[in-house]
Amino acid sequence: MVAGRLGRRRVWLATALAVAGAGAGRSADLPLEERLGRSESRVLSAPFAIPAGAGVLDLALPERLERLGYRRVHVRPAAPGEYFHGTEVFWIYRRAVHARGADRPAELFGLELERGSGRIRGVRRPEGDARPIRSEEDAWLEPEVLAESLREARADRERVELAALPEHVWRAVLAAEDARFFEHPGVDARAVARAALQNLRKGRIAEGGSTITQQLVKNRDLTPKRSLGRKATEAMLALALEAEHDKREILQAYLNAVYLGHAHGLAVHGVGAAARAWFSKPAQRLTLAEAAALAAMIQGPNRLSPVSDAGALRQRRDWVLSRMAELGWAPEAEVARARSRPVEARPSAPRSSAPRSFVAWLAQEVNREEAWRARHGQGFLVESTLDPWLQRLAEEAVRTRLAALRREHARLRGAGLSAALVALDARTGAVLAYVGGDPDEGAGIDRARVAKRQPGSVVKPFVALEALDGCGRREPLTASSRIADQPLSIELPSGRWTPENFDRRFAGPVLLREALAESRNVPVVRIARWCGFDATAATFERAGLELPTDPPPSFVLGAVESTPLAVAGAYTVLATPGRALEPFPVRRIETSSGIGLERGRGGSRRVASEASAYIVRDLLRSAVEHGTAAAGEIAGLDVAAKTGSSSQLRDAWFAGHAGSVVAAVWIGLDGGGRLGLTGAQAAGPLWRGFMARAAPARAPHRVERPAGVVEQWVQTGTGLLVREGRAGARPELYRRGTLPARRRWWRIDEPMPVIE
């Protein structure tokens, strides 16, 4: 008889493994909770490649590891999830994880440090590991989970370890859902028979026979469709899951995944998050009555709500408590005390740290794969480009700056003040941080990608780029070209246009470098008119700044509409230099079974020569050092940046480049009203607060001077070249072949002509 039962069980397991095998696609070395179910979606941050040459504290390496849940130890790590910060070696025992398109085993590696500075010199393997070292391949941190759904907003999951939970917490769940969990092989024939009998007696589906393993499989691996065939598949997959994983691992996965209602518009999954949401405490501190109430909710999470229907929940809770007493899992006296108490909810608003605007963008990117997923019943794994540490810095910077502006300017309180920030990898265009509005507000309009506002002077560098690189059909200008800063009127079909400088003053002839550093409007208009508005517009569009058909000349002063994402993409021209990188948010998309659907990569297009772009970048260094962008100066960093203020000071902008990060910031009022602050006043402190920490936390990157750029000394009053070190002169950068005339010592030379 026993032999017969064992034989039947082997047949069941063999069949189940065959059914499950086609969809598994993941290494058995990965913990069950790391493996993505067939019907689940998960959004990950980018893995963080640890660059040589950077300091571990600048990279915020300890903080990054703590965000991932690593534990600091005082000797070399002996288990995955540990790290040791020594003076000569920083050891990390990376966990097994699915990243970079494959299952990666747990691995110990060390970072060799320079004494004193903590700068990373290279990668070290443990003794006896003779594999060749490749820094980019070996030294990296696993991605963080950013979101577990592309369709609904979910509360942050608070993962619990089964071993750390009081026994009455998980026993209550077993009493409510699967008392024979530790006895059956994944399918409980006795429970199925009992449920069938009850349903026949009542003439309706009054009781189910699903085990916890089956429930886990149903939620992870199957569509909501109900049929006999699906029920059979569910049973087979449950058997396979139990053949592959330990009972306690399955129970822990269930406790961390089970749905327990909605709170404040967020779906709550897992007993850890539910304990916080409904009782304002960690799961480890749940009383017997509270644990039984959560277990009771599983049957109908929103119907049996501790807030909206505590009476119905109490009835179900008391049944769970009685069942625990019946099974001998709780003393009768404790059960009696728990039953005597009402359901006392102490709800707390759950948190969702998922970057809402960014995840919504990802959902659109994934949308084109949705039909494929629907046909094949597959979920998605989306590995994004986001750096979670930079995302935290960006959200903190936006939150802090908005609070300061509201505190300092009473008229901005309740006025719809908001902000947006986009940070890109200056080498690839990957989106590193993305804030589409006030982080303390719920989901709303995405001001980083969707809302368009006038960028003002932040677009002026692209006027200079056209002037230095091509200048239409004329000879290219130089950084020391003399431009007339005097009253100007232009006749347009709509009437006369008379641009003015912000200070409403004129400085006479100014050098192009001065015009850009001081953000003088009239000289910039003269430059664009000299080179041709059409030629200048073409440079804008190559950089990724959209223009309307037949734009008015005022587009050169930013009187058009753009987004922070587009501005950030255009500013990558400074870092490449000369090519505009297309911002992209996704590294790869896979099905839950590991089939790669798409690899994200940004395109690029040539906007100008390396030499011209490098010189414009240097012009923006002047804007930071002694011009309108001084608010962006950061000690120890080579910064090139520009401010922007739209007409009537409605919008404040700041954009620029430092290290391997390009970032653009916008601050304004959602209703389009007058902010009343310049880009330097409102957006500059936000940009600086973010970049001062973000740029050092990424790989070092230096824009080298191209071979086509030479340095000469120029006399500021005449624009003529002179000997090095001469009074009234300074060094300037030029493209080879575009040098101005040289002043002769034996005669009086005329100054370089003024562009009018």
For residue 196, the model assigns a pLDDT of: 53
Distances (CA, A) of 46 to 33, 49, 260, 588: 19, 9, 29, 10
Q: What is the mean pLDDT of residues 355-375?
A: 76
CA pair distance 506, 499, nearest whole angstrom: 12
For residue 198, the model assigns a pLDDT of: 61
| HSE-CB of 68 using CA atoms within 13 angstroms | 32
Buried b (16+ CB within 10 A) or exposed e, 131-146: eeeebeebbbbbbbeb
Q: What is the mean pLDDT of residues 551-577?
A: 97
Q: How many CB atoms lie within 10 A of CB 223?
A: 12
For residue 2, the model assigns a pLDDT of: 37
CA pair distance 208, 405, nearest whole angstrom: 57
CA pair distance 487, 233, nearest whole angstrom: 80
Question: Tokens for 627?
Answer: 């011009």
Comparing 480 with 5, the larger pLDDT belongs to: 480
Q: What is the mean pLDDT of residues 271-285?
A: 96
225 — pLDDT class (breaks 50, 70, 90): low
For residue 17, the model assigns a pLDDT of: 42
CA pair distance 716, 739, nearest whole angstrom: 14
Contact status, residue 568 vs residue 655, Cβ threshold 8 Å? yes
For residue 70, the model assigns a pLDDT of: 96
Average pLDDT, the chain: 89
746 — pLDDT class (breaks 50, 70, 90): low
CA pair distance 665, 651, nearest whole angstrom: 10
For residue 233, the model assigns a pLDDT of: 83
**Helical segments of 629-720, H only:** 684-694
pTM for the full predicted model: 0.90
φ/ψ (deg, to 5) at 297? -65, -25
Q: Please, what are the domains in the chain?
A: 2-19+156-339 (1.10.3810.10), 31-46+145-153+352-452+563-594+630-704 (3.40.710.10), 47-142 (3.30.2060.10), 709-755 (no CATH)
Helix (H, G, I), strand (E, B) or coil at 255: helix
CA pair distance 382, 397, nearest whole angstrom: 27
CA pair distance 407, 405, nearest whole angstrom: 5
Q: Would the pLDDT of 20 be above 50?
A: no
Helix (H, G, I), strand (E, B) or coil at 266: strand
Contact status, residue 561 vs residue 584, Cβ threshold 8 Å? no
Q: Would the pLDDT of 8 be above 50?
A: no
What is the 8-class DSSP label of residue 644? Answer: E
**Length of the chain (residues):** 756
Q: Would the pLDDT of 412 be above 70?
A: yes
CA pair distance 576, 592, nearest whole angstrom: 36
CA pair distance 427, 425, nearest whole angstrom: 5
Choice among 214-223, 366-375, 478-487 with the minimum mean pLDDT: 366-375
DSSP characters for 1-15?
-HHHHHHHHHHHHHH
Closest CA to 541 of 554, 555, 527, 528: 555
- Which parts of 604-689 are beta strand (E)? 604-606, 639-645, 651-658, 661-669
For residue 373, the model assigns a pLDDT of: 58
Map 315-344 to HEC letters: HHHHHHHHHHHHCCCCCHHHHHHHHCCCCC
For residue 7, the model assigns a pLDDT of: 45
For residue 1, the model assigns a pLDDT of: 40
Closest CA to 556 of 524, 510, 514, 511: 524
Q: Would the pLDDT of 14 be above 70?
A: no
Q: What percent of the chain has pLDDT over 70?
A: 90
Contacts with 476 (C-beta within 8 Å, 6 or more apart), sequence order: 467, 468, 469, 470, 612, 735, 738
Distances (CA, A) of 635 to 59, 122, 136, 631: 17, 26, 29, 12
Q: What is the mean pLDDT of residues 260-277?
A: 94
Q: What is the mean pLDDT of residues 556-571?
A: 97
Displacement of CA 154 from its chain's centroid (Å): 16
59-61-66-69 Cα dihedral, nearest 10 degrees: 120
Q: What percent of the chain has pLDDT over 90?
A: 71
Q: Would the pLDDT of 134 be above 80?
A: no
pLDDT tens for each residue of 674-710: 999 999 999 999 999 999 999 999 999 999 999 999 9
Contact status, residue 343 vs residue 310, Cβ threshold 8 Å? yes
Helix (H, G, I), strand (E, B) or coil at 594: coil
CA pair distance 704, 710, nearest whole angstrom: 13
Q: Would the pLDDT of 417 be above 90?
A: yes
For residue 228, the model assigns a pLDDT of: 58
For residue 253, give the amino acid letter. Answer: A
103 — pLDDT class (breaks 50, 70, 90): confident
188 — pLDDT class (breaks 50, 70, 90): confident
Q: Would the pLDDT of 136 be above 80?
A: no
Q: Would the pLDDT of 370 be above 80?
A: no
Question: Tokens for 562?
Answer: 């753009």
pLDDT tens for each residue of 596-635: 776 777 789 999 999 999 999 999 999 999 999 999 999 9
Q: Would the pLDDT of 586 be above 80?
A: yes
Question: Tokens for 94?
Answer: 């990376």
For residue 602, the model assigns a pLDDT of: 78
Contacts with 576 (C-beta within 8 Å, 6 or more apart), sequence order: 426, 427, 604, 610, 613
Question: Tokens for 166?
Answer: 């009081």
Q: Would the pLDDT of 558 be above 80?
A: yes
Q: What is the CA radius of gyration of the chain?
A: 32
Q: Would the pLDDT of 518 be above 90?
A: yes
For residue 443, the model assigns a pLDDT of: 66
For residue 369, the model assigns a pLDDT of: 60
Q: Would the pLDDT of 79 be above 70?
A: yes
Question: Tokens for 720?
Answer: 């003529």
Choice among 227-231, 522-526, 544-548, 631-635 with the minimum mean pLDDT: 227-231
For residue 194, the model assigns a pLDDT of: 65
